[in-house]
Structure 1
Amino acid sequence: MAELAKNTQSVPPQIEESVTPPWKEAWQAFCKNKLAVVGLGIVIFFIILAIIAPLIAPYGFKDQELSKRLLAPSSEHWLGTDDFGRDILSRILYGARISLWVGFFSVLGSAIFGTILGIIAGYYGKWVDAIISRIFDIMLAFPSILLAIAVVAILGPSLQNALIAIAIINIPNFGRLVRSKVLSVKQEEYILSARAVGMRDARILFSHILPNSMTPIIVQATLAIATAIIEAAALGFLGLGAQAPTPEWGKMLSDSKQYLVQAPWTLFFPGLAIMLTVLGFNLMGDGLRDVLDPKMKQ
């Protein structure tokens, strides 16, 4: 009995291991990537500027004072004025709203339609996959900016039509990405079991396949926002996007290109805003890819 009691006392107590939630583990891994954190900081900074633009902008984005046209940066106008005497800082602050709005909603539209088409093509295969894939191939055969110009030329130049055009040209990127993911996921045992017990295709697609395909969609969407902002600026620069007096960054570059030598600040600061915003989303997207992609973890 004494020996039995001794052996019982020698057994170490069971230690309960704490399980870290997946989102917390992903956030900790993301924070270890310094460049990704910098990118997130830049994105949050511009989002905050866009939200509080009416509160911090020193002037209205449409306020003109021709006697102060093309003034260099000063204490009165921190980033100078443009050819109509409008404050460049105020227009950049309001322009952040437009660029982020176009970036977010154009990518949201392309992600929704591209995901739906990609799921259908990957899950059903055969002639459905062939038709949808050929449509994607045709769209990708054209340079994205030329396709966007063609769409805007048909719909008419405006900010809303530029958003639609950007959403359309990014659909194949999401569609092909989701299709390739679905082709691998649908071969998993739990999907085959769900089909064997007679589960409806709609439930399989949106309850099982879609949630397991979200990781590449999130990463692609983050990177696509940066591309959408550049494309919106390009359309605005060509006069096919936002129209005057809307303070869209690409339109600001277009209006100021003839003053490159006389007043370089009219181009430098809008171009800097575009560069920093795109850089922020690219750095954040790379960080998300490193965290969410199992291959990158290895």
Structure 2
Amino acid sequence: MAQFGVISAELLARSPARQLWRDFSAQHSAVAGLVLFSVFFLLAVLSPLLTPHDPYLQNDTLLLLAPSWSELGQVQYPLGTDDLGRDIFSRLLIGARYSFGIAVITVVGALLMGLLLGTLAGMSRGVKSSVFNHILDLALTIPSLLLAIIIVAILGPGLLNTTWAIMLALLPQFVHGIRNAIAEQLNQDYVIAYRLDGANNWQIFSRIVLPNIWEKLTLMATMALSTAILDIAALGFLGLGAQTPTAEWGAMMADSLDLIYLAPSGVAMAGLLVFLAVLSVNLVGDGLRNAVKKRRDS
């Protein structure tokens, strides 16, 4: 019995997920990015419970209040107030729901749709596959932000339309990446042997292809998340995304831009949060890429 326990422990230690986490946790920058990513994720979920003031409450007696570290500031308003007397700190906290939380939703939606369409493209053959691939190649030549602007121009400005626009703008790269990953798996010898053994397309996809491409799906999702955060902030800054008075980071930068010399904290802090959110996603993505590469090389 002790021998079987040792064998099972060795198999568990060599499991792909355990080995991936070991290689990932060995990178200090990746762990720091994961901690920062977790903070933003928790803020996106719990920010309504953490805001000290109503982020949309206007106070005529506290217009353009300086941050708390200034002699003219107040402790109750750590980052001061904007030109309408709204608490900047509370607006930045609630903004995580829009700039970060909606980015996660768009990436998950694009991933699910991309998995469906990419599977159809990768598993199909003939004229249907050729036409589908040429359409994808054409869509990939357009940058995601430009494609999102075109879609928002058709649907109209607003946060909901921005969500759909970015989701559709990210879809081609997911479909293209998943299609290539599936095509690579279908050319492997073990897939051919499984097909000769009588397996149908669904069995091949669910039992062989999908378990072998989940790492690529995770990497694609992390890289797309940073793009989604930037696109949401850019559309909000251009006035095509979140509309006033929504406390989205890009829209907050646009609203505070005219007052940057009088109250720079509104622009600076919103821009800093966008930078840190993208940085956390990129650090996690780079850590996952290095961990996957190291695991495959070993």
2:52 counterpart residue number: 58
Measured at CA, do residues 102 and 51 of structure 1 come closer, stay the same or move farther in structure 2, by a change above 3 Å?
closer
Contact 1:117-1:132 at 8 Å conserved across structures? no
Does 2:150 correspond to 1:163?
no
Amino acid in the other structure paired with 1:259: L
Separation of aligned partners in 2, 1:56 and 1:118? 40
2:261 counterpart residue number: 261
1:198 counterpart residue number: 198
Separation of aligned partners in 1, 2:5 and 2:44? 50
C-alpha displacement at 1:203, in angstroms? 2.8
1:70 counterpart residue number: 64
1:8 counterpart residue number: none
Percent identity over paired residues: 38
Instruction: Give a deviation string over 1:169-192, Cα, whole Å, max 9, x none.
Output: 111211221122112210223322
Measured at CA, do residues 251 and 278 of structure 1 come closer, stay the same or move farther in structure 2, by a change above 3 Å?
same
Measured at CA, do residues 28 and 294 of structure 1 come closer, stay the same or move farther in structure 2, by a change above 3 Å?
closer
Separation of aligned partners in 1, 2:263 and 2:174? 41
Contact 1:30-1:291 at 8 Å conserved across structures? yes
TM-score w.r.t. length of structure 1: 0.89
Separation of aligned partners in 1, 2:132 and 2:293? 26
C-alpha displacement at 1:295, in angstroms? 7.9
Q: CA RMSD in A?
A: 2.0
TM-score w.r.t. length of structure 2: 0.89
1:116 counterpart residue number: 116
Contact 1:103-1:229 at 8 Å conserved across structures? yes
Instruction: Give a deviation string over 1:16-68, Cα, whole Å, max 9, x none.
Output: 55231332221111111000001001011122223332332110111111221
Gap regions ≥5 residues in structure 2: 69-74
SS in 2 for 1:84: coil
Measured at CA, do residues 293 and 131 of structure 1 come closer, stay the same or move farther in structure 2, by a change above 3 Å?
farther
1:176 counterpart residue number: 176
Contact 1:91-1:247 at 8 Å conserved across structures? yes
Does 2:28 correspond to 1:40?
no
Separation of aligned partners in 1, 2:23 and 2:164? 35
Separation of aligned partners in 1, 2:99 and 2:297? 33
| Matched positions, count | 286
Contact 1:102-1:163 at 8 Å conserved across structures? yes
Instruction: Give a deviation string over 1:241-268, Cα, whole Å, max 9, x none.
Output: 1122211111101111111112111100
Amino acid in the other structure paired with 2:26: K
